[in-house]
Amino acid sequence: MTKIVGLVNVFALLSLLAVGGGTAVLPQMKHDTTDIHHWVTDTQFAEIYSLGQLAPGPNMTCVILIGYMVSGWAGAVAVLFAFFFPSSLLCYWVGSAWESARGSPWRDAIQRGMAPVVIGLMLAGTYAVGKIANFNPALGWKYNGTTLSITAAVVALLALTRINPAVAILAGGVAGYILLR
């Protein structure tokens, strides 16, 4: 039961902190779930995030697997509720106020001011996953060179072609299977 309370506390706060989407809370989520609570290891965190990429729907739905690993079905349901309900409730209430603030100069100020903060958070999220997914000192230069190449190839593919991101993700899995074995 204490574990469920812990899960709800962590994910409800993350829900309300997810400015600019789920990527913004990845560093804190990783820090909370691995370093602080030891619910999952670094590698498990990255693998759970990868599973999120393989399933349809919002990628961050993968958080339920952390709940499941901590305390089974109850944990999964608790995390689902904690991660999606607070931000949805806030959006329900504040959304209409925000809509009626259309044209207010302070609304523009908030949007312009927060834009670089969101980008900084997204970069930190990318870095948090990248540190685990791309660089593992224990596995030597061949492993790390390959994972960094896969990342670079995906960035280039997405920037230069109109490839579906899901195809790029699956291609990464195939590349991993061929190159990393």
Partner 1 sequence: MSEPAPRVSLARIFGAFALIGVTSFGGGIVAYLRSALVERHRWLDEEEFMAALEISQTLPGLNSTNMSVLVGRKLRGPLGAAAAVLGMVLPGAAILIVLGFGYARFRHNPDVAVVLSGVAAAAVGLLLQVTLKIGWKQLLRPKDLVFVILVFFLVGVLHVSLVVTLACVAPLVIWLNRPGTEDRKEGA
Please, which of residues 107-146 interact with partner 1 by CB under 8 A?
Answer: 108-130, 132-134, 143, 146
Question: Which amino acid is located at 142 in the chain?
Answer: K
**Tokens 């961050």, residue located:** 60
Task: Report, in Å, the least distance between residue 4 CB and partner 1.
Answer: 17
Tokens of 98: 């925000």
Mutual orientation of helices 42-54 and 105-134 as an angle, nearest 10°?
Answer: 110
Residue 3 or 168 with smaller CB distance to partner 1: 168
| CA 130 to each of CA 26, 135, 172, 176: distance values in angstroms, whole numbers, following the listed order | 11, 7, 14, 15
| Interface pick for partner 1 out of 1, 38, 57, 140 (rule CB under 8 A) | 57
Give the interface size with partner 1 as a residue count (CB under 8 A): 109
Residue 74 or 169 with smaller CB distance to partner 1: 169
Residue 74 or 124 with smaller CB distance to partner 1: 124
**113 burial via Cβ count (<10 Å: 0-12, 13-18, 19+):** exposed
Residues 117, 19 contacting (CB under 8 angstroms): yes
| Interface pick for partner 1 out of 5, 58, 142, 161 (rule CB under 8 A) | 58
| Interface pick for partner 1 out of 9, 94, 142, 161 (rule CB under 8 A) | 94
Binding to partner 1 by residue 62, rule CB under 8 A? yes
Q: Is the CA virtual torsion 108, 17, 89, 57 positive or negative?
A: positive
| Interface pick for partner 1 out of 3, 37, 42, 148 (rule CB under 8 A) | 148
| Interface pick for partner 1 out of 4, 64, 78, 82 (rule CB under 8 A) | 64
Task: Report, in Å, the least distance between residue 25 CB and partner 1.
Answer: 7
CB atoms within 10 A of CB 143: 16
Binding to partner 1 by residue 82, rule CB under 8 A? no
- Binding mask of the shown chain, residues 2 to 21, with x at each position contacting partner 1 by CB under 8 A: -----------xxxxxxxxx
Question: Is residue 165 left, alpha or beta, with left meaning phi > 0 and alpha meaning psi from -120 to 50?
Answer: alpha
